[in-house]
Amino acid sequence: MTATPNSESDCVDFVLAVLDELEGCDASAETVDDAFGLLAAQRRRLLLSVMRTYGESLTLPDAAEEVAVRETGCQVPNISAERVHEIYLSLYHDHLPRLVDAGLLEYDQERDLVVPIGLE
């Protein structure tokens, strides 16, 4: 493992904070596992963050661009169309269906629109 001592400390602090929150939570172990599974992929976390930030429906191409911006730290003009397309495809085929199944988002395929239903 090549983590720096500071990042290890940050990770330990984060885990302890999460454990503290879980102690006061009455969610089942299955619910906690499902939630951590949904949050395990950075791209899903970024998509949820984008949808919470905007708080309204976005087209999937617009959401993919915003995820690309957050993922790369670059503005849209500096991100290749291929990169945005790859992100769009991974959202469409993998991440979005999981978040829809969990009840966090809805997806209108006809309009290619992502709706944040469970993020209020």
pLDDT (tens digit, 9 = 90+) per residue, 28-41?
999 999 999 999 99
59: its two tokens: 């087209």
For residue 120, the model assigns a pLDDT of 66
**pLDDT higher than threshold 60 for residue 118:** yes
The mean pLDDT of the chain is: 93
pLDDT tens digits along 57-104? 999 999 999 999 999 999 999 999 999 999 999 999 999 999 999 999
Indicate the pLDDT class of residue 20, thresholds 50, 70 and 90: very high
Give the global pTM.
0.87
Q: Which of 85, 120, 2, 105 is nearest to 44 (CA)?
A: 105
Domain ranges (residues) in the chain: 29-115
The set of long-range contacts for 10-17, using a CB threshold of 8 Å and a minimum separation of 24, is none
The verdict on domain 29-115 having CATH code 1.20.120 is no
Residue 25 has, within 13 A of its CA and on its CB side, a CA count of 13
11 or 9: which leads in pLDDT: 11
- For residues 42-63, give the mean pLDDT: 97
